[in-house]
Amino acid sequence: MVSYWNPDSFFLTENGFTVTLVAVKDLSFRERHQFAPIARFLKTTLPQDQLTPIVSAYQA
């Protein structure tokens, strides 16, 4: 079973872009306008060997 809230999850935005999650954080309702709305999550995930350097760069 795929967990859609993991940092390796892919989703489509309403603008048709494919995006992967790097981090999952709480977001207040009023801050939501800074982000593109999610159209739908996909079952595809990013392999761990590709995810690790991306997450490391994000956290740096």
**Which pTM does this prediction carry?**
0.57
- Residue 23 burial class via C-beta count within 10 angstroms: exposed 0-12, middle 13-18, buried 19 and up: exposed
How far is 31 from 22, CA to CA, in rounded Å?
Answer: 18
How far is 23 from 5, CA to CA, in rounded Å?
Answer: 9
How far is 35 from 22, CA to CA, in rounded Å?
Answer: 14
pLDDT tens sequence across 3-19: 666 778 888 888 888 88
pLDDT tens sequence across 4-59: 667 788 888 888 888 887 877 788 888 888 877 788 888 888 888 988 898 888 88
Do the beta carbons of residue 18 and residue 44 sit within 8 Å? no
